[in-house]
Chains A and B, each alone.
Chain A
Amino acid sequence: MSLMQLTAVELGKKIKAGEVSVVEAATAALDAIEKRDAKYHCYVTVVDRETVLKKAAEVQAKIDAGELTGPLAGVPVAIKDNMCTEGLLTTCSSKILGNFVPTFSSEAVLNLEKAGAVILGKTNMDEFAMGSTTETSAYGVTKNPWNEEHVPGGSSGGSAAAVAAEECFYALGSDTGGSIRQPASYCGVVGMKPTYGTVSRYGLIAYGSSLDQIGPMAKDVTDVATILECIASHDPKDSTSVARTEEEYRFTDALVDDVKGLKIGIPRDYLGEGLDPEVKESILAAAKALEAKGAIVEEFDLSLVEYAIPAYYVIASAEASSNLERFDGVKYGYRAKEYEGLHQMYKKTRSEGFGPEVKRRIMLGSFVLSSGYYDAYYLKALRTKALIKKAFDKAFEKYDIILGPAAPTTAPKLGSSLSDPIKMYLGDIYTISVNLAGLPGITVPCGFDSKGLPIGLQMIGDCFAEKTLIRAAYAFEQTHPYTRANVEE
């Protein structure tokens, strides 16, 4: 068996026991990237071998000296290219940041490094995390390791594909409207978006600041809980960072195979029109498996589901139009070659540097925030958000967990999504409201469709109830162990 088949925690144990060295693990990962990434294109940037192996040797020395004892010490990781990494190119998959080398690392990455992570490279994504297929990247498309004619999902498509293609042991993604959960589902891996404020956004290049959260992507729930435990922290540099109790941060305590008495609600609104029958069947079978383990499962009406997408696009675009104003060709990144005066330099730089989907959202965001439309669009969307939050609050009075699909279909074919943006946006219908309400959500693989593409089960918890989610996901996983994609060794 190749080392690359190990989960992050399994590898961590072998490193700790001295059965595998950190250099061996890093070499295996770099070899896998070298062998397979030309095919899948999970990475925008791969760190050069010399640097990775030097870091690996340093980490090994610290492990040997007893300074690094955590479960992820020495385990190589891939980072989504919207998280700043000191001294390492960070492009956000955009031309406008094509040469940007951050002078600092994001807090989540620092937390991993403190735990002994070895960074392999930066993964491909939709430009500025805007998209659902990783096809809006300025650096080429990523292919789904289950079928190269299909997308890996997005926007954390490179991270999801890198885990499934065994080109890393685990990865970080970010989720603004489903960007961890949906690609995890399409690629047959586990992905989790924590409660808003759980992982610091410091150093995460902002898209929709009130919605963005960093989270783990890995082969199983044990990895995801372990990674989350490592990256979650209260950070004074992120004013929306939430301080949780020590007990709340011990996510791995929830890795327990027990869902007896757990109340699970399935929104009828998630099973209606637009849901692929094969996905539906698989999700309901997963619910049955949890029921067989003693969970109480029933269907209910969540309501307002169809309003989440329009509300999201107003709020996310508005925030994006403001957040992306900083890309103006002055301090970093791309600058247009020819221009007359400062204002034309801004305009030409941005017009040449941003791709079509990013421009579309900046335009929409600028419009909904403009005088005369602010109340009708922006405030209306924020009021809708309040109603959506209320609907979830009501649901969580009755249920511990909400269960449903991660996406209406399995991974679409490459090239089939971008021509009709609204159709692409509708693919986020089951994930997007979770961000509006700040809730945690997890997707775990639960089956395959007749084309052999993975289906993901999504479970949503109340704010700060990650441990309930982890317990349910772990219990489900015991009935449905991880299946590897058929990647060439």
Chain B
Amino acid sequence: MANVIDDATIEYVGILAKLELSGEEKEQAKKDMGKMLDYIDSLNELDTSGVEPMTNVFPVKNVFREDVVTNGDTRDLTIANAPEEKDGQFVVPKTVD
């Protein structure tokens, strides 16, 4: 396997991905990612010099519209989905001391 994912990398990716992996999951993730990157490395066989990266298939232009509220007040329904709410607001763990 050409791509060896070390503990530090998996730790770093875990931070970026906001995932907390168990020891076993980390080992599996290292293997899976290594294998996947080996497979993805086949793209290096292609000469892409001078090729512009294509984000969108069709030419894109900025799409503007008037900033008008059309969906009415759905606060109660929205809040009903919250894992925790108080007085019509989302409750989250304390973030600032």
Contacting pair B90 A101 (CB below 8 A): no
Give every chain B residue within 8 A of A382 (Cβ-Cβ): 53-55
Given the known inter-chain contacts A370-B16, A384-B46, please indicate yes or no for A422 contacting B57, CB distance below 8 A: no
Instruction: Give the interface residue-count category, chain B.
Output: 35 or more
In-complex Cβ contact of B29 among A197, A331, A360, A365 (8 A): A360
A442 partner residues in chain B, CB cutoff 8 A: none
Interface string of B33-77 (1 = CB under 8 A from A): 101110110111110100111111110100101000001001001
Residues of A in contact, count (CB < 8 Å):
70
CB distance from B14 to the nearest CB of A (A): 8
CA–CA, A368 to B37, complex, Å? 9
Contact of A363 among B17, B39, B60, B78 (CB under 8 A): B17
Residue B84 CB within 8 A of the other chain? yes
State the CA gap A341–B92 with chains docked (Å): 9
B23 on the A face (CB < 8 A): no
Of the 9-residue stretches A110-118, A139-147, A347-355, which lies at the interface with chain B?
A347-355
Nearest-CB distance from A355 to chain B (Å)?
12
Q: Is the CB of B93 within 8 A of A342?
A: yes
Instruction: Evaluate contact between A348 and B43: CB separation under 8 angstroms.
Output: no
Min CB distance B25 to A, Å, is 8
CB-CB contacts of A357-394 with B at 8 A, as 1s and 0s? 00110111111111000000101111111110100000
CB pair A345–B36 under 8 Å, yes or no, is no
Q: When the two chains form the complex, which single residue of A99, A329, A347, A368 contacts B20, counting CB atoms closer than 8 Å? A: A347
> Chain B 82-96, CB within 8 Å of chain A: the 1/0 string?
111000001011110
Q: Is the CB of B16 within 8 A of A100?
A: no
A380 to B47, CA, bound (A): 10
A383 & B20 in contact (Cβ 8 Å cutoff) = no
Chain B residue at minimal CB-CB distance from A422: B39
Q: Is there an interface contact between A307 and B51, defined as CB atoms closer than 8 Å?
A: no
Interface of A (DSSP majority class): helix
> Are B32's CB and A367's CB within 8 A?
no
- The answer to whether A103 touches B18, judged by C-beta atoms less than 8 angstroms apart, is no
Contact A196:B58 (CB < 8 A) given known A366-B16, A380-B43, A384-B43: yes
**A330 at the B interface (CB under 8 A):** yes
Residues A383 and B32 in contact, CB atoms below 8 Å apart: no
Stretch at the interface among A1-9, A178-186, A280-288, A308-316: A308-316
Contact flag A422-B81 (CB < 8 Å), given A360-B29, A383-B48, A438-B57: no
Q: Which B residues lie at the A interface, using CB under 8 A?
A: 9-10, 12-14, 16-21, 25, 29, 32-33, 35-37, 39-40, 42-46, 48, 51-58, 60, 63, 65, 71, 74, 77-78, 80-84, 90, 92-95
